[in-house]
Structure 1
Amino acid sequence: MNGRSYRGMSAEERLAERRERLLSAAYTLYADPGFPDTTIEKLCASARISNRAFYECFSGRDELMQALYDRCVQETLQSVTKSIEQAPDTPADRVRAGIAGYITFVTEDRRRARIMHLEVRRAGDCLITSRQRAVTAFKDMLASSVADLPEAVKANRHLLALGMIGMIQELLIEWVLADEAPAVDHLINTATHIFYRSFIT
């Protein structure tokens, strides 16, 4: 690819614009019909680019899925961080704000919830490393929110935080797949209740 301008865009700008179109197409198609059923041909048709242009942007469906998942995680982390920073400065309030911020942000768009909590698993090995990084980031955020709890509770906060993340993931999978999705407030209240039962002993 040369660096000549075309329609007022440099080669780098055209590449970035095509990547964004593919990410936008994947955001919809990887959520429905889902990652396993989304071919490169479908992605290219939705993004209005050629198969050749696809491979100038990504090595394949897996790399595109990884880029999309990483972006969803980063956006969610930013939203949750803001929610915690705006909460009253007590462990219980910070954790509730973090739980509510996470669940609310993820469920604002069903595509985001499905990609982050269902399709990430269906994608298989290609997302193991990205998923582990995401779990670690959210676990550290939750654990730091309860840093000033009693020592007896702090000693177990690493495993408890991992357990909390797993529980929230399952609640969101239920929200995505249920014929009648539970109310978001019910998800938040359930997660908060389990937190109190786990951390506040």
Structure 2
Amino acid sequence: MISEELLRKHGALVHRYEPQDFIYEENQEVEYYFQIISGKVKLNNFEGEGKEFIQHILEEGQCFGEALLFLNRKYPSNAIALCDCEILELPKAKFFSLLEEHPQYSLEINRNLAQRLYYKMLMSQNIFSKDPHVRLTVLMDYFKQIHSTSLSDPYCIPLTRQQMANLTGLRVETVIRTVKLMEKKGELQIKDHKIYY
């Protein structure tokens, strides 16, 4: 995304978060552009009964919160650190100043937003499928396309079974059972509890 050096030059500060720390909470005012230096962040919501639904999981080099800077709306989800994280945070006004001075980054922001919109469309098409195999295949295909350099080589899915359940709206027991069936069919491999797809 945007170079760390340029973000710092425009006033971005590094904030450190521990696992389960909230970076921002649902309905909080939008104030910053966030870019992950290290660690992983999940965007999620909790239903009334406390059930978690994960919207997205982001890693080093990825940004988040940028779309809402253009809308002037409150955050519709939470951003929570999954592990120790270092995140560059650039105030809204300085973010727009950076884009005015360096318009080439607007294209990068648009690509990033288009990628996330594509993911949402894929997931929304399949969330109504009652077949857990379909939901999990779409999820794993997406992660492999985004992060793998070779679509023919096995790719280690960077998600726990619980995270896969929360991303697809399935129960964790269903994910475990379906992953085992997929392994039996030769669609994926499990090594040291990790899924290679």
TM-score (norm 1): 0.29
Kindly indicate which of the two structures has a greater share of residues assigned to helix: 1
Structure 2 length normalisation: TM-score? 0.29
Query: For the pair shown, which has the larger CA radius of gyration, 1 or 2?
Result: 1
Query: Which one scores higher on RCO, CA 8 angstroms, separation ≥ 6?
Result: 2
